[in-house]
């Protein structure tokens, strides 16, 4: 060993190198199948990676960081562990394999994780903040699913390990949206199908041509998987076998048959050992084992519904090109690839950019790909790295590329590996991401109504009684929306499944509180989902509605739930306020809650559980919080709690009066939510911003007296008398000209949107053009001169 000029074997001692890789797997039909849990299977992979170093004991003793890829059982708020799991996976595996790390980490969700961790901890080692890092991951979904259907004893993988753990959380922000959840677009298969169909259309290919291309792309992967001892489905198949629908190869989501999508029914684990050259040398690891990271990059794509082109993945392509540029290489210099292959488009977007053909003799996957080797959740690319490391060791001096994809082509991490020594190169990903973030976003329409054009689509489970369809469309002004295919419109499904390309054809969109729908035309929509008639119903389930001359009184009648709003309550309030604003004989409305406990305690989480609290009308919570125009006054008579959404509804009213026992608050942060129905925006505009921030960030409540002092309410009523005070305020408003009242509301609304005070004042003068020619102005002046009460008409 030479240390001349601070070098070891001619390499800077802080240079990170991969010195060991290991994999483990078990299949249900293996003779030695042991139904291992995640920690035990991961321990097998880690032990294999230590053995691969040639100095297992010395390497294990020096580990200072263990980072675990997050398993699917912990990948989202909806995931769970039916048979328990260790409370600290990295340390559970460490205890089984002779490690005692100072730092344990559980990475965020996403298939980019393995390569991202290599990139991250390569930098940590190069900076001297770590010496030996073990990266690991495991999935035992096959065992868990088998046990769930078994009548025998169930395993218990619960393990209380304790100790330090840096849990990085889900990290899925931007990978799923409210609109996608509302429309059931939460699984990868339909998400990728929408992208795949957009790509097919962009290429101008028929369904048959595109299916043939997907089969030709993936058939070589099956050959690789057939030779891989760790593969879950080691069987070579032809393109036709992959794409021809049949009893054992049903169409899951157009254009995918079952054999074209990632297989997560696996028990697989993999591990990678990263060391500094200094630590590897001290541990006695043979330099022939060292594999250097010549290039690396991480990039994040725009959210699905904001992307300029659904057929492209610019972040994925940019990350690969950045890694190649760092390595000083191009595609022709690469000897081996493992392109992430959960669905064909994940391979295609990178292969197209690199000019790679489906039958490239180098092969596009070193493992056999996620549908055939297996897709062990977020950890697949740890196997890809292991295979590429083994490949470049067998062919010293060659370069191998790994691409690791997370979400809906949402995150991509790339790495280029070789045994040829190379210095650590600092990441260029921040500059790359800044450039990607400058891309123009497509505007989103959450509540489309009217003619639209199909931009992409998929049909799930065609030919079954579970068939459903999803459409991404564009409105006439270019905004993008997501909608369900109306299940009662067979003509639409015939179009989506027919020989002609439905993309670019016209449909009719209509929004509902739960989700948006599309049909072939307006007449079909009117027949299947007729527009709600504007007017008052004879009775309501959750409201008491009373009119008294020009006054409308609306009472939320759910005292058993403190007048919390369910989806039905929201819908009824929306309809009532539509009717109120449309009725020329109604000039003032009062909104209150039944009983003396609450005006409204906000969203009824129990009643909204099935919709995740997302089924609110286009006009927002209570039919008010997102309503752009409220041309006639609404008085909120707060008779108790106005909490969360209840306060947000009150804030959307023009006047708030309160019972002396009332209280006001936004407690969302205490239950893991945010006041996104207007509280975050309106409250700081109504009361002193410092007080608003205090309330929003702590959940602090204000008493009625405090609310009056801060200007949130205008009057306080004695206990039990808030409705009397509200009626008195209404009478005062009714004594004024309704034309003037409504004109004043219009000016105040416009002024709220105008930051220029002088400009707002100047603009407000135009309202006189309407007021001065009204009969109310003439009547008001005449009554004043005649010394009598005016008789307003509202015209």
- Among residues 224, 239, 206, the alpha carbon closest in space to that of 501 is found at 206
Strand 634-638 versus strand 267-276 pairing type:
unpaired
Q: Could you tell me which residues come within 8 angstroms of residue 631 by beta carbon, excluding any fewer than 6 positions away?
A: 581, 742, 745, 746
Q: Is 562 left (phi over 0), alpha (psi -120 to 50) or beta?
A: left
**Cα 609 from chain centroid?**
18
* Residue 435 known to be catalytic: no
- Among residues 594, 578, 590, the alpha carbon closest in space to that of 543 is found at 594
Burial of residue 556 (number of CB atoms within 10 Å: 0-12, 13-18, 19+) = buried
- Please report where in the chains the tokens 């891989």 appear, as a residue: 228
Q: To which H or E segment does residue 728 belong?
A: helix 722-734
The active-site residue, picked from 131, 180, 572, 668, is: 668
Q: To which H or E segment does residue 95 belong?
A: helix 89-96
- Please report where in the chains the tokens 């039919």 appear, as a residue: 623
Sheet holding 399-406, edge to edge: 166-167, 103-106, 65-68, 132-140, 267-276, 16-25, 291-300, 411-418, 399-406, 334-338
- Among residues 414, 417, 384, 383, the alpha carbon closest in space to that of 400 is found at 417
Strand partners, 776: none
Strand 267-276 versus strand 132-140 pairing type:
antiparallel
- Among residues 276, 294, 295, the alpha carbon closest in space to that of 285 is found at 276
* Residue 648 known to be catalytic: yes
- Among residues 306, 69, 79, 81, the alpha carbon closest in space to that of 186 is found at 79
| Polymer length of the chain | 795
How far, in Å, CA of 511 to CA of 182, rounded? 12
Q: Could you tell me which residues come within 8 angstroms of residue 168 by beta carbon, excluding any fewer than 6 positions away?
A: 70, 105, 106, 107, 108
How far, in Å, CA of 776 to CA of 774, rounded? 5
Strand 551-556 versus strand 543-548 pairing type:
antiparallel
Please measure the distance between the N-terminal and C-terminal CA atoms of the chain and give it in whole angstroms.
Answer: 97
How far, in Å, CA of 495 to CA of 774, rounded? 53
Answer yes or no: are the C-beta atoms of 691 and 723 closer than 8 Å: no
How far, in Å, CA of 576 to CA of 75, rounded? 42
Q: Helices marked H in 28-86 — which ranges? A: 38-53, 56-61
Which residues belong to the active site? 648, 668
């Amino acid at each position: 060993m030479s240390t001349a000029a601070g070098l070891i074997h001619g390499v800077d001692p802080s240079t990170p190198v991969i010195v060991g890789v290991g994999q483990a797997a078990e299949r249900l039909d293996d003779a030695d199948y042991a139904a291992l849990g995640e920690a035990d299977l991961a321990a097998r992979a880690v032990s294999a990676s230590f053995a691969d170093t040639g100095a297992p004991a010395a390497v294990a003793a020096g580990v200072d960081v263990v980072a675990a890829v997050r398993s699917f059982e912990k990948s989202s708020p909806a995931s769970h562990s039916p048979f328990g799991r260790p409370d600290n996976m990295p340390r559970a595996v460490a205890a089984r394999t002779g490690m005692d790390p100072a730092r344990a980490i559980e990475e965020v969700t996403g298939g980019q994780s393995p390569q991202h961790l290599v990139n991250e901890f390569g930098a940590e080692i190069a900076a001297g903040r770590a010496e030996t890092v073990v990266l690991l991951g495991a999935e035992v979904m096959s065992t868990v699913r088998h046990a769930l259907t078994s009548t025998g004893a169930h395993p218990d993988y619960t393990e209380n390990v304790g100790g330090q753990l840096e849990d990085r959380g889900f990290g899925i922000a931007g990978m799923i949206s409210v609109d996608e959840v509302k429309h059931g677009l939460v699984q990868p298969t339909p998400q990728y199908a929408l992208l795949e169909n957009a790509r097919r259309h962009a290429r101008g290919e028929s369904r048959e041509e595109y299916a043939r291309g997907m089969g030709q792309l993936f058939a070589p992967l099956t050959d690789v998987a057939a030779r891989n001892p760790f593969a879950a489905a080691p069987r070579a198949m032809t393109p036709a076998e992959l794409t021809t629908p049949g009893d054992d190869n049903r169409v899951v989501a157009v254009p995918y048959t079952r054999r074209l999508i990632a297989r997560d029914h696996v028990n697989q684990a993999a591990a990678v050992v990263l060391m500094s050259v200094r630590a590897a040398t001290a541990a006695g690891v043979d330099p022939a084992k060292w594999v250097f990271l010549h290039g690396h990059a991480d990039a994040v794509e725009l959210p699905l519904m904001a992307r300029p082109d659904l057929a492209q993945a610019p972040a994925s392509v940019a990350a690969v090109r950045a890694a190649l540029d760092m390595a000083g290489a191009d595609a022709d210099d690469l000897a081996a690839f493992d392109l992430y292959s959960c669905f064909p488009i994940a391979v295609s977007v990178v292969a197209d950019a690199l000019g790679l053909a489906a039958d490239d003799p180098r092969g596009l996957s070193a493992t056999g790909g996620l549908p055939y080797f297996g897709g062990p959740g977020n950890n697949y690319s740890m196997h890809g790295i292991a295979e590429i490391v083994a490949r470049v060791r067998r062919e010293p001096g060659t370069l191998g590329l790994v691409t690791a994809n997370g979400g809906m082509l949402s995150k991509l991490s790339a790495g280029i590996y070789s045994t040829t020594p190379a210095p650590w190169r600092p990441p260029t990903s921040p500059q790359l991401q800044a450039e990607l973030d400058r891309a123009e976003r497509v505007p989103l329409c959450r509540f489309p109504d009217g003619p639209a054009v199909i931009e992409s689509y998929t049909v799930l489970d065609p030919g079954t009684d579970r068939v459903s369809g999803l459409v991404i469309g564009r409105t006439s002004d270019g905004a993008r929306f997501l909608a369900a295919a109306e299940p009662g419109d067979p003509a639409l499904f015939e179009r989506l499944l027919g020989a002609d390309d439905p993309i670019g054809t016209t449909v009719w969109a209509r929004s509902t509180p739960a989700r948006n729908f599309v049909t072939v035309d307006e007449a079909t929509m009117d027949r299947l989902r007729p527009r709600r008639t504007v007017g008052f119903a004879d009775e309501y389930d959750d409201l008491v509605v009373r009119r008294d001359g020009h006054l409308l009184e609306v009472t939320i009648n759910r005292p058993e739930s403190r007048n919390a709003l369910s989806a039905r309550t929201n819908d009824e309030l929306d309809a009532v306020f539509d009717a109120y604003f449309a009725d020329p004989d109604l000039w003032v409305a009062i909104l209150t809650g039944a009983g003396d406990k609450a005006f409204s305690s906000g969203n009824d989480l129990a009643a909204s559980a099935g919709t995740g609290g997302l089924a609110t009308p286009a006009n927002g919570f209570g039919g008010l919080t997102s309503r752009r125009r409220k041309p006639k006054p609404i008085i909120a008579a707060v008779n108790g709690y106005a909490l969360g959404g209840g306060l947000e509804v009150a804030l959307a009213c023009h006047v708030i009066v309160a019972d002396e026992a009332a209280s006001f608050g936004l407690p969302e942060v205490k239950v893991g939510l945010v006041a996104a129905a207007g509280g975050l925006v309106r409250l700081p505009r109504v009361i002193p911003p410092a007080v608003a921030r205090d309330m929003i960030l702590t959940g602090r409540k204000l008493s009625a007296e405090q609310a009056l002092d801060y200007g949130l309410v205008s009057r306080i009523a004695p206990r039990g008398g808030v409705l009397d005070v509200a009626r008195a305020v209404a009478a005062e408003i009714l004594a004024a000209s309704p034309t003037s009242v409504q004109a004043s509301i219009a000016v105040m609304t416009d002024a709220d949107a105008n930051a220029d005070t002088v400009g707002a004042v100047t603009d407000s003068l135009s309202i006189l053009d309407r007021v001065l020619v009204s009969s109310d102005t003439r009547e008001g002046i005449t009554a004043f001169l005649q010394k009598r009460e005016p008789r307003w008409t509202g015209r």
